[in-house]
Amino acid sequence: MQRYFVSKIDNYEDIILSEDDSYHIIKVMRMSLKDKIEVVCSGVLHICEITSLDKVVKCRVIESVLENVRKIPKVTIAQALVKEQKMDYILQKSTELGVFEIIPISCERSVVKPDGKETKKIERWRKVLKEASEQSKRTDIPKIERICKLDELKSLDFTHKFICSVNEKSKSIKSVLSKVDIDDKILFVIGPEGGLSEKEEKLLMESGFEAISFGDNVLRTETSSLFILSVVNYEFLR
């Protein structure tokens, strides 16, 4: 069954889907009346039956399923700005692998810089996250609020805060994850194509961040979040 998200449900007998989702159901999936779809609201999954296929699709709940229990810690990725295609890839794959939140950050070596169109970018990224959440059958959508400056990360409240680094003194990701509990909130900072500058790393290290490495290999920025989340899933999924 196809999955869709709604922000609220006022009437379980008459749920109205968004125009975009309605278009997908009618024009792309070519569904019919009484076809079944999955509708998620506030983390709860509802099995629904389509009751109307006018300009907007309406449906009614026939069964509800309790919210899934989170199986990995809440992982936030602070991702340096990259070109659109790479950012879409990072958002999609991180969502599939269970990321809780993504914070786009502007760094010294970022190829892409804030250009005054941040609001439109955030709206577009939220759509990418929503579609990836539907595709991967999540009951939540990763959060993405705004583009931040690197030094804004210093004041954020997390149980553990890590910088992805190629510094020889960095700890291995495996060793730091051994100290993480399921209820912890973790922040990983991933630099741009050229990496974080020494000044940026020092800034974060002086405010309590730990530098971690991925072993002997140097990963591309668009690969790093996938590696992190894959390791987290391996460590916590049973």
pLDDT at 67 over 70: no
Sign of CA dihedral 166, 79, 221, 175: positive
All domains in the chain, ordered by first residue = 3-65 (2.40.240.20), 74-236 (3.40.1280.10)
The Cβ of residue 163 has, within 10 Å, a number of other Cβ atoms equal to: 24
pLDDT at 114 over 90: no
For residue range 14-42, what is the model confidence (pLDDT) as tens digits?
A: 999 999 999 999 999 999 999 999 999 99
Predicted local confidence at residue 168, as pLDDT: 67
Res. 65 pLDDT band, cuts 50 70 90: confident
SS3 state at 60 = strand
Contact 22, 55 (CB under 8 A): yes
Closest of 232, 214, 238 to residue 100, by C-alpha: 232
To which residue do tokens 């006018």 refer? 54
Contact 158, 185 (CB under 8 A): yes
SS3 state at 84 = helix
The Cβ of residue 101 has, within 10 Å, a number of other Cβ atoms equal to: 17
More confident residue, 84 or 66: 84
| Mean pLDDT score, 155-160 | 94
For residue range 178-187, what is the model confidence (pLDDT) as tens digits?
A: 889 999 999 9
Res. 226 pLDDT band, cuts 50 70 90: very high
Predicted local confidence at residue 113, as pLDDT: 79
Predicted local confidence at residue 116, as pLDDT: 74
Interacting residues of 158 by C-beta distance below 8 A, sequence separation 6+: 76, 185, 186, 187
pLDDT at 110 over 90: no
| Mean pLDDT score, 97-125 | 89
Predicted local confidence at residue 136, as pLDDT: 95
Q: What number of residues does the chain have? A: 238
∠ Cα 54 62 131 (to 5°) = 60
Torsion of CA 80, 191, 143, 131, to 10 degrees: 70
Q: Kindly state the helix (H) or strand (E) to which residue 39 belongs, with its residue range.
A: strand 36-41
Rounded CA separation 36/70 (Å): 26
Which tokens go with 42? 């506030």
pLDDT at 169 over 80: no
Contact 223, 193 (CB under 8 A): no
For residue range 124-134, what is the model confidence (pLDDT) as tens digits?
A: 999 999 999 99
Rounded CA separation 43/52 (Å): 24
